[in-house]
Amino acid sequence: MTDAGPTDPDADNAEPDGRPGTPDAAPPGDSPAVDRTARFAWGAVAVILIGVIALVVYGLTRTSTPQGVALPPTTSSGVLSALSTVPASAFDTIGVSAPTTPLAAPTVLAGQPPLTSNGKPEVLFVGAEFCPFCASERWPLVVALSRFGKFTTLHNVQSAPLSVFAEIQSFTFTDSAYTSRYVTFTGVELYSDAVDADGVFARIATLTPAQSALVTRYGATGETGAYPFVDIGNHMVATTSGFSPAILVGQSQTAIVGALTQSDQPTGRAVVAAANELTAGICLATGQQPGAVCAGKGVRAADAALGIG
């Protein structure tokens, strides 16, 4: 499922494409003065139309900072530590089994050119802070990436309150910091979870042409505004959260973190199972390194479920 659009999490985020009209040919017998007047009039209409279109596009795509809104709080070191120290036994016990929570498996790609950055496979996330499916997907993605490196900075956000999956506690990748020997991580949050003076979610980032091309090529709808979107080195893509955001509604960050080590908790099973699937994709991109992670029982279960040979 895809969330898009700055004013409504369920709205389409495609930008308008309008063209001014072209005048009809002058009827036979019109004088040169009439022709010049008609051409002038149509030219004025075209200028007005172009101006209106430009204003609409600006209103939908401008980058702005919410006025009077504090920056999101930094994620505590305790939470970061818990996300990076989920025991191997939890990954191995859960595998990809979440009996009470259907999983949405990512798609394994074959024969695609590798996606790299700084000489390493790149993991690209495209989302929006207000988006509940993005909020859910960040949990298994952070857990999976933490098996290959370390987040030293994240910030806490929650998804939009006026949503069917309201106020899901999560993180933003805006101003995040991640280091790894194996992969490069790029997190792009297109919109804030706060509204600007006009009452719309503030645009806080823009995709590069290369990133837009990836979302267009591999995204579920083929639109540059579709999210969440995760591309793991062009070996695996996810175009929705690994499980329904419903399971996280009403839960605090502390409760979700605590569930990660409890294999009998639906929340913990869903996050860890989805993390195993994403881990399998990262292992594809890194050539199955590090071996201690990629050879784990939980990752092998994900390989089998996803048809990775």
How far, rounded to the nearest angstrom, does the alpha carbon of residue 2 sit from its chain's CA centroid? 9
Label the pairing between strands 116-117 and 120-127: antiparallel
pTM, to two decimals: 0.78
Q: Which two tokens mark 203?
A: 């645009």
Query: What is d(CA 34, CA 113) in angstroms, rounded to the nearest whole number?
Result: 59
pLDDT tens for the chain, 309 residues long, are 444 445 443 333 333 333 333 333 333 444 444 344 344 334 433 333 333 333 333 333 333 344 444 568 999 999 999 999 999 999 999 999 999 999 999 999 999 999 999 999 999 999 999 999 999 999 999 999 999 999 999 999 999 998 889 999 999 999 999 999 999 999 999 999 988 888 899 999 999 999 999 999 999 765 545 789 999 999 999 999 999 999 999 999 999 999 999 988 999 999 999 999 999 999 999 999 999 999 999 999 999 999 998
Cα-atom radius of gyration of the chain, to the nearest Å?
23
The two tokens of residue 211 are 């990133």
Residue 96 is classified by DSSP as: T
DSSP letter assigned to residue 264? T
Contact at 8 Å (CB) between 133 and 240?
Answer: yes
